[in-house]
């Protein structure tokens, strides 16, 4: 659910012409950003050889930023700077800010990343930490936030959670000695539907107000692309005393969430999709400021703080290197870190964030609403629900979706559609047995690419 309500864009009669698509590209305030990315070339994606980017000038059409975002040009520059830091000053890199480097000393690098990430998720910098990976972070957060009791032990989640989330929740429940069959409550759409109504989620919360400890949903559902009404669900779950966590894998750097204002308890995300930080890149967490408080009212040596699994990097930098085993957590999300993070991983993240720092999530979202609506308009144009051999299972209301549209094909179509797209060097994701997910990324995709995609897609369906 959008933080600023979006009305659905409309398009003129000539929407499906090259001229019209070009006019949208020309008017796109973010058009200069495309050049900040390395778009895989047609030749490279077809070849099985390791090739330098740019050897062949013709780019593919990359609509797979919901799985893995493409590489920013800044990444090489940033990684080189980091390798130079390491090779030139060795261990001093931990505590030295070099004048001409875009990167802070390694001790401060996660804070550099968190400061930029916090702007993308509507949080204060202290509420965000760059650390770990998504599934591991969910475990760390569940360890602190899932406190089951004999009567309140259930976790509400979605029926088609990404398997890693499903396993993580299942294992946490079992770890506490409960039976996942009893304690995992899966919320799905009504029979024959794909969208889960907010009302249905709220009614599950009511139904489980006495026996559920926590609700953990994806901000955006990976399969259908539905963006859940995060503020409403969070507020309602709180009114029933549930802890609220969000998996923002598909929402981070895609939609304009407001984690602080929505009063979310915790969230975690990966940064390799719309965030472009690279395959398996370091992830992010959010912990609301009220949970990150460190209270010294009982003395400097007796801090009180929310229980969590700890490691030395959660310790305040003022005491981290004292080696006296007196743990004083960093206030905020930083106090949930464990280990010395990989500086190379953080560097790739900072490189990607340097691109996002040049714009804002509000600007990105504005283009996203338009380009995805354009995609939807062209897909549906001049056809009817009865004759179309596919169905868009993503909500049509822009307030309930991000960049992605999920296209459910009639049985038997997926093979020829993916072959045709592959032949046309269009990269998007297919989910067996019959879904194609298409995600125009506002920073590097164009309206002309959307038009080209739809032409190929429709030609494949007709062939």
Ligand X SMILES: Nc1ccccc1C(=O)C[C@H](N)C(=O)O
Ligand Y SMILES: Cc1ncc(COP(=O)(O)O)c(C=O)c1O
Residue closer to ligand X, measured from CB, 65 or 148: 65
- Residue 226 binds ligand Y (CB under 6 A): no
Site for ligand Y in 164-183 (CB under 6 A): 164-165
Q: Is 118 exposed, middle or buried (0-12, 13-18, 19+ CB in 10 A)?
A: buried
- Residue 218 binds ligand Y (CB under 6 A): yes
- Residue 222 binds ligand X (CB under 6 A): yes
Q: Are strands 435-438 and 429-431 parallel, antiparallel or unpaired?
A: antiparallel
Q: Are strands 405-409 and 390-392 parallel, antiparallel or unpaired?
A: antiparallel
For 420, the token pair is 């045709």
d(CA 35, CA 425): 19
Provide the minimum distance between the beta carbon of 164 and ligand Y in the complex, in angstroms, as a whole number: 4
Q: Which of 33, 62, 78, 222 binds ligand Y (CB under 6 A)?
A: 222
Q: Which of 111, 158, 195, 247 binds ligand Y (CB under 6 A)?
A: 247
Q: Is 250 exposed, middle or buried (0-12, 13-18, 19+ CB in 10 A)?
A: buried
Q: In DSSP terms, which residues pair with 375 in a beta bridge?
A: none
Which residues have a Cβ under 8 Å from the Cβ of 108 and sit 6 or more positions away?
A: 97
The contact pattern for ligand Y, residues 339-368, with x = CB under 6 A and - = no contact, is: ------------------------------
Provide the minimum distance between the beta carbon of 88 and ligand Y in the complex, in angstroms, as a whole number: 32
Per partner kind, with CB cut-offs from 5 to 8 A, the member of ligand Y, ligand X, none near residue 429 is ligand X
Stated length of the chain: 463
Provide the minimum distance between the beta carbon of 276 and ligand Y in the complex, in angstroms, as a whole number: 15
Size of the site for ligand Y (CB under 6 A): 12
Per partner kind, with CB cut-offs from 5 to 8 A, the member of ligand Y, ligand X, none near residue 135 is ligand Y
- Residue 274 binds ligand Y (CB under 6 A): no
Cβ-contact 228, 402 below 8 angstroms: no
Could you give the 3-state DSSP secondary structure of residue 83? helix
Residue 247 marked as a ligand binder: yes
The CA-based diameter of the chain, rounded to the nearest angstrom, is 75
Residue closer to ligand Y, measured from CB, 24 or 157: 157
Q: In DSSP terms, which residues pair with 247 in a beta bridge?
A: 218, 268
Of 463, 458, 452, nearest to 390 by C-alpha is 458
For 24, the token pair is 């949208």
For 72, the token pair is 């920013």
Per partner kind, with CB cut-offs from 5 to 8 A, the member of ligand Y, ligand X, none near residue 370 is none
Per partner kind, with CB cut-offs from 5 to 8 A, the member of ligand X, ligand Y, none near residue 134 is ligand Y
- Residue 246 binds ligand X (CB under 6 A): no
Cβ-contact 406, 412 below 8 angstroms: no
Residue 145 marked as a ligand binder: no
Q: Which of 195, 429, 449, 456 binds ligand X (CB under 6 A)?
A: 429
Residue 312 marked as a ligand binder: yes
- Residue 67 binds ligand X (CB under 6 A): yes
Residue 341 marked as a ligand binder: no
Return residues touching ligand X (CB under 6 A).
Answer: 67, 162, 222, 249, 429
Binding residues for pyridoxal 5'-phosphate: 134-135, 162-165, 247, 250, 272, 312, 340
């Amino acid at each position: 659910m959008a933080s600023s309500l979006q009305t659905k864009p409309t398009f003129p009669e000539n929407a499906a012409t090259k001229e019209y698509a070009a006019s949208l590209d020309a008017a796109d305030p973010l058009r200069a950003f495309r050049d900040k990315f390395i778009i895989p070339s047609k030749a490279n994606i077809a070849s099985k050889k390791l090739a330098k980017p740019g050897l062949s000038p013709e780019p593919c059409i990359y609509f797979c930023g919901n799985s893995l975002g493409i590489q920013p040009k800044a990444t090489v520059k940033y990684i080189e700077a980091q390798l130079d830091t390491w090779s030139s000053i060795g261990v001093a890199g931990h505590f030295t800010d070099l004048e001409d480097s875009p990167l802070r000393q390694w001790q401060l690098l996660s804070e550099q990343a968190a400061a930029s990430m916090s702007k993308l998720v509507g949080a204060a910098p202290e509420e965000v930490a760059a650390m770990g990976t998504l599934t591991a972070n969910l475990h760390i957060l569940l360890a602190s936030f899932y406190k089951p009791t004999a009567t309140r032990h259930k976790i509400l989640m979605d029926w088609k959670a990404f398997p890693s989330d499903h396993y993580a929740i299942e294992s946490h429940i079992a770890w506490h000695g409960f039976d996942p069959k009893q304690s995992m409550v899966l919320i799905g759409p009504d029979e024959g539907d794909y969208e889960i109504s907010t009302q249905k989620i709220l009614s599950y919360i009511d139904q489980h107000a006495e026996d559920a400890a926590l609700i953990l949903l994806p901000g955006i559902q990976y399969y259908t692309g539905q963006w859940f009404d995060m503020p409403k669900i969070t507020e309602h779950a709180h009114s029933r005393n549930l802890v609220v966590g969000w998996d923002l894998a598909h929402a981070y750097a895609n939609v304009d969430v407001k984690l602080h204002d929505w009063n979310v308890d915790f969230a975690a995300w990966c940064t390799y999709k719309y965030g472009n930080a690279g395959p398996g890149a370091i992830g992010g967490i959010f912990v609301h400021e009220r949970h990150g408080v460190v209270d010294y009212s009982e003395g400097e040596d007796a801090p009180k703080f929310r229980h969590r699994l700890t490691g030395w990097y959660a310790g305040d930098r003022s005491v981290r290197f004292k080696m006296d085993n007196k743990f004083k957590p960093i206030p905020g999300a930083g106090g949930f870190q464990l280990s010395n993070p990989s500086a190379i991983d953080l560097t790739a993240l900072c490189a990607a964030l340097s691109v996002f720092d040049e714009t804002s999530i509000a600007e990105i979202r504005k283009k996203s609403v338009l380009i995805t609506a354009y995609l939807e308009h062209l897909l549906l144009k001049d056809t009817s629900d009865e004759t179309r051999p596919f169905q868009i299972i993503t909500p049509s209301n822009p307030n309930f979706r991000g960049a992605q549209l999920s296209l459910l094909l009639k049985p038997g179509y997926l093979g020829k559609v993916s072959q045709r797209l592959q032949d046309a060097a269009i990269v998007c994701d297919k989910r067996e047995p019959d879904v194609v997910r298409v995600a125009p990324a506002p920073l590097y995709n164009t309206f002309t690419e959307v038009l080209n995609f739809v032409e190929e897609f429709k030609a494949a369906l007709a062939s």
